Amino acid sequence: MIVRIMGEGQVRLDDGHLTELNKLDDELLAEMQSGDEEGFRRTLGALLEAVRRLGAPLPDAALEPSELILPSPEATLSEVREMLNDDGLIPG
Amino acid sequence: MSGVMKRMGMIFRAKANKALDRAEDPRETLDYSYQKQLELLQKVRRGVADVATSRKRLELQLNQLQNQSSKLEDQGRKALALGREDLAREALSRRAALQQQVTDLETQHQTLQGEEEKLTLAAQRLQAKVDAFRTKKETIKATYTAAQAQTRIGEAFSGISEEMGDVGMAIQRAEDKTAQLQARAGAIDELLASGALDDSSGLAKDDIQTELDRLSGGTDVELELQRMKAELAGGSSSQQAIEGGKDQTQSQQQPQDTPRFDKQ
């Protein structure tokens, strides 16, 4: 499974790691919905760190569609919320 | 999975084609493709040179063998002249062995020559194709750049901004994309022309200018109306004068007399 961290690149992850990552991901969603900025930052950091640790980075020249996408480490709660609104990531 | 990762992934996939179109620059892809073609052409040329070198080497060997063959023939002739038939036989049998080698080399030479001709032809064809591609590439690039500029200008007018996108490349998309951009630029132009989009370039008339034009146009109309009214007023007096017994010529010749007739 290919996971993209926006602004960083892509990593290849074994499906076996998904359960562990899912917990953090669900936690992140809950914190985003409740507006817990501090918790959001902490969980996002943990999730990104886990993806980097468990995944093998893909070369920059590799052109593979990402199955999962994560916000960049600098992304704020409001930015991510905006990205997930109806307009999606790309305007238009 | 319903977390952030999955949702962002889904949104991305939903917009994937659009993102791909935006991120991909067909000019780079075309240049890359051209570079690859040049490398291929270089390989073919190197192949032609290799075959030509082998052919020349064979020609040198053939010359040497033929020289030796002639020498052995001379030796055989001399040996026979000297009455040494055994020596002459030896020379001729060696010559026969050499002739066999010459025949083999000639066959190889012919094969190589054929290969060389084929490769030369292929190189020429490839060269023509690469040249044609280069021309086409430059045309597409120029059109794309122009279309892109048009689109940017058009988008700047209406406040649309170019944003990020996922990465992807495909050479066959280049022409489609250029056409799309042209169509888009054309559509924006049409929208601007129809007034559906605001043109902030200052080239088009603003509402104040339109109102001024309308007012000044209105004034002209009023002036014209007054002029025509005055003419008509003059005309009706003349008509009354004719009815009063004066002919039109007289009336025109003495317009100052008209009021006097009216009084009569």
Query: Which ranges of A1-92 does DSSP label H, i.e. alpha helix?
Result: 18-34, 37-54, 77-83
What is the rounded CA–CA span in Å between residue B209 and residue B104? 93
Query: Residue B51 domain-assigned?
Result: yes
> Please, what is the average pLDDT of chain A?
84
Residue B24 burial (10 A CB sphere; 0-12, 13-18, 19+): buried
Assigned domain for B238 exists: no
Residue type, B78: K
A39: closest CA of chain B, how far (Å): 14
- Asked if residue B154 belongs to a domain, the reply is no
Does residue B159 lie within any of the structural domains?
Answer: no
User: Two tokens at B128?
Assistant: 């023509």
pLDDT digit string (tens) for A11-23? 999 988 888 898 9
What is the number of CB-based contacts under 8 A between chain A and chain B? 75
Domains in chain B, number: 1
Is B72 part of a structural domain of the chain? yes
On whether residue B50 sits in a domain, the answer given is: yes
Q: Distance, in angstroms, between A87 CA and closest chain B CA?
A: 9
Task: Enumerate the residues of chain A whose CB falls inside 8 A of the CB of residue B161.
Answer: 91
Nearest to A8 by CA among A60, A47, A54, A67: A60
B174 occurs within a structural domain: no
Q: Which domain holds residue B26?
A: 12-131
Query: pLDDT in tens for each of the 264 residues of chain B?
Result: 468 888 887 776 666 555 455 556 677 777 777 888 888 888 888 888 888 888 888 999 999 999 999 999 999 999 999 998 999 999 999 999 999 999 999 999 999 899 888 888 888 888 888 888 888 888 877 777 777 776 666 555 544 433 333 333 444 455 666 666 666 655 555 555 555 545 444 444 556 566 656 666 556 667 777 888 888 887 655 444 444 444 444 444 444 444 443 433
**Nearest residue, CB atoms, A84 vs list B8, B164, B167:** B8
pLDDT tens-place string over residues B62-102: 999 999 999 999 999 999 999 989 999 999 999 999 999 99
Which of A41, A47, A48 lies closest to A7 in space, CA to CA?
Answer: A48
Q: Is A65 on the interface with B (CB under 8 A)?
A: yes
Structural domain contains residue B97 = yes
Q: What are the strands, taking DSSP E only, across chain B?
A: none
Which residues is A5 bridged to in the sheet? A9, A70
Note the ipTM here: 0.80
Look-up: residue for tokens 């030479």? B109
Reading the block at residue B236, the tokens are 């009706």
A69 C-beta neighbours (distance < 10 Å), count:
24
